[in-house]
Amino acid sequence: MSSMKLQDMTSPLECLARFILQKKWYRADKTIRHNAFMPNQNGEVSVYRTKSLTCQQINEIGRLHVAEIQNKKLLGRAEIVVSSILKQDLKIEADPEPHPRHANIIGWPTDKSKRKMIAIELAAEAQLHLINNP
């Protein structure tokens, strides 16, 4: 599935989930830090499309396809609307491994300070949903 196809399929108001595996990604006041949205060495931020899924189903994807693979506990997710990403001139590219709903945010600038700036803005617009782990 190409990035164009995915964008055609998504509404600008559709939500994407960035699964959170560590506390460094959010603050005590339940806001999200920019490092949750900093791209990895491949210039990608891994996200999942959540359209038509319940919270439970979304978390199940995170648990099975993100956290458990890494031997980590799923702490929650940062949800961000597609329009916030497109507004930054970034793209969303489908990457159906390890899950059909998986995608990457790509198209990041090469200048790190610009990437940081964008990540700050994305984090400010994202909503944190924590899981009540026992």
Given the rule CB under 8 A, which residues bind another protein? 21-22, 24-25, 27, 31, 33-35, 38-42, 46, 66-67, 70, 72, 112-114, 116-117, 119-121, 124
Least CB distance to another protein at residue 44 (A)? 9
CB of 9 or CB of 98, closer to another protein: 98
Give 22's contacts (C-beta < 8 A, 6+ positions apart).
72, 75
Separation of alpha carbons 58 and 9, rounded Å: 19
Least CB distance to another protein at residue 57 (A)? 20
Least CB distance to another protein at residue 60 (A)? 17
CB of 10 or CB of 104, closer to another protein: 104
CB of 15 or CB of 119, closer to another protein: 119
Separation of alpha carbons 49 and 35, rounded Å: 20
Separation of alpha carbons 95 and 101, rounded Å: 8
CB of 43 or CB of 86, closer to another protein: 43
Write the burial class of residue 96 (CB in 10 Å: 0-12 exposed, 13-18 middle, 19+ buried).
Answer: exposed
